Amino acid sequence: MIKLNPFAISGLLITLTYLPLFLFIFINGKSRLTKIYSFHILAVLWWGISSFIIPSFQDKNVSAIFWKISNIGVFLIPTFFLHAVFLLTNQRRKLFIIYSYTQALIFILLILSNFAFINIRYFHNSYFVPTANHIYLLGFINWVFICSIANITLTNYYRTNLPKEKTLIILLFISIIGFLGGSSNFLPVFGFDIYPYGNFLVPIHSLVITYAILKYQFLNIELAFRKGIAYSILLIIVLLLYTLTVLLSEKYLQEYFGYKSLGISITTAFIIGILIIPLRNKIQSYIDKLFLSRKPQEIEKENEFLRQEIINTDKLKTISTFASGMAHEIKNPLTSIKIFCEYLPQKLHDKEFLNKFIPIVTRDADRINELVHDLLEYAKPSPPEVKPTDIHKLIETVLDTLSAQIVDKRIEILRDFDNRTIENISIDAKQIKQALLNILLNAVESIHLNGSLLIRTQFAPNENKIILKITDTGCGISPEDIPHIFDPFFTKKEQGTGLGLSITHGIIKEHGGKIFAESVLGRGTTFRIELPIKK
């Protein structure tokens, strides 16, 4: 059972502050510097967890084991810190770094091998502490020496190279308090009857470094959303401290009144939690004001306004795309029609002229008609009229529509239909047929003679969706074109309008589904469609 005395509470505070800092730096830091510094934070975290656990052991032998284990983190704290400082300040002191790691490893091995402690005693009726000998004293001297070199080097670097960053220099001076507070833990080990309240100062180093990273990109950690990250970290710390306050208050009342009932403990903790909620809310409100500059409700309204602005911008962008696309697509057919009309009065009885231009005009008029039809299909806002539909029969209907092209190219149709669970899904059969027709038509057109077309369905009732895969052995799509195939008017076909796949994408999206494409140039393309099963 965890024993909560001041030493254990200070260890818990170290754990609560250094754990998010370690994860924050380790995940976001990409350089060698940030990784080494994250190990320094991990070493402090190791000590924090140890100092939280050690008071719980009332057996001095068990306590001695955990004291030895805790010193692994203790002696690595200045070593990793010095290494990080040398990397930050671009000082190539390899021999000094080797010395730092070597002495830390030696003293850790000596401590684990029982050469550094004489015996163990019960301290302040609170917890067991070991008594050190001259070997541990030598290790402590090295610990102080390396900490001093690291902090002096770091401070001088910022004073010399960044004299304008006075606030950051002051912060670094303040962070030294954390090291001084941590050094108080050595006092009981050397026989001084002084309680190590300085352990409470260790989290100051964590908070200062966190602020320096978020505010000044200390350690070269630069984040686009550092304010949001800082807000999240501080909010987590506030919630953890709130929980800790509730637990400690309940523990104190339990010891004062002497009750041991679990029900009373839960009720007491609940009442305490309610009583200090206003304090927590004030702290959170201050954090909101500090990092967000406004209340969360105001931010939510602003975000909604921005979402509407984005939607309107997208609509204007689509209209612009339509306008430029229509102008480009209609320009050539209109040119040929205009030429025909200009020469027609003079060539009215010229059969050769008529035989040449009438098919051209007819073809271009059909093209304009097709373009307008596709554009209306794309822009038509009608929502799907869903009803139970046999998806496999719908696929067969589309294949029948394309049977002439399939036979002409001698394409082999392969079916892998999943009939294990259900047959009918709720879709707009007309719209989905149009979407499948666009995909299958593209597939057939891309396939050379004697190719194949595989259509696979897979029902996933647990995920409430059906998956359709259409794989062809056609010419494929180049990698640079894949991201644009669903854009309106994007096409590499000479006679294409570039709206077929855009219409398909819109239909699938209106059904609440998704569509993806994978392709290997010269080998074929696979379209994957996911549609929700609406019962």
Q: Note the pLDDT of residue 487.
A: 77
Count of domains observed in the chain? 4
pTM of the model as a whole = 0.48
Sign of the CA dihedral 423, 426, 430, 435?
negative
Contacts of residue 515, Cβ cutoff 8 Å, sequence gap at least 6: 486, 504, 505, 508, 527, 528, 529, 530
Looking at the domain assignment, is residue 49 inside a domain? yes
Together in a domain, 330 and 393: no
**pLDDT category of residue 22 using cuts at 50, 70 and 90:** confident
d(CA 376, CA 426): 25
Q: At 484, which amino acid appears? A: H
Domain end position, chosen among 223, 239, 268:
223
Looking at the domain assignment, is residue 474 inside a domain? yes
Domain CATH code at residue 183: 1.20.1070
Together in a domain, 219 and 238: no
The DSSP code sequence of 22-75 is: HHHHHHH--SHHHHHHHHHHHHHHHHHHHHHHGGG---HHHHHHHHHHHHHHHH
Together in a domain, 161 and 251: no
Looking at the domain assignment, is residue 78 inside a domain? yes
Q: Which of 89-98, 354-363, 418-427, 468-477 has the lowest mean pLDDT?
A: 418-427
Domain end position, chosen among 293, 321, 348:
293
Residue with tokens 């954390």: 178
Together in a domain, 72 and 197: yes
Together in a domain, 335 and 278: no
- State both tokens at 195: 């309680």
Looking at the domain assignment, is residue 251 inside a domain? yes
Query: In this structure, which long-range contacts are made by residues 98-102, counting pairs with CB atoms below 8 Å and at least 24 apart in sequence?
Result: 100/146
- State both tokens at 526: 């696979």
Together in a domain, 374 and 263: no
Together in a domain, 356 and 408: no
Domain end position, chosen among 188, 204, 223:
223
Looking at the domain assignment, is residue 246 inside a domain? yes
Best CA proximity match to 7, nearest among 62, 70, 59, 68: 70
427-468 pLDDT, tens digit per residue, is 888 888 888 988 998 888 888 888 899 999 988 777 788 889
Give me the domain span that covers residue 150: 6-223
Domain CATH code at residue 375: 1.10.287.130
Domain CATH code at residue 432: 3.30.565.10
Looking at the domain assignment, is residue 1 inside a domain? no
Together in a domain, 106 and 187: yes
Looking at the domain assignment, is residue 173 inside a domain? yes
Distance of CA 310 to the CA centre of its chain: 22
Together in a domain, 66 and 182: yes
Looking at the domain assignment, is residue 256 inside a domain? yes
pLDDT of residue 52 exceeding 50, the answer is yes
114-159 pLDDT, tens digit per residue, is 888 888 899 888 889 999 999 999 999 999 999 889 888 887 877 7
Together in a domain, 270 and 210: no
Residue range 220-247: mean pLDDT, rounded: 53
Together in a domain, 133 and 237: no
Together in a domain, 375 and 516: no
Q: Note the pLDDT of residue 225.
A: 38
Q: At 372, which amino acid appears? A: V
d(CA 46, CA 69): 9
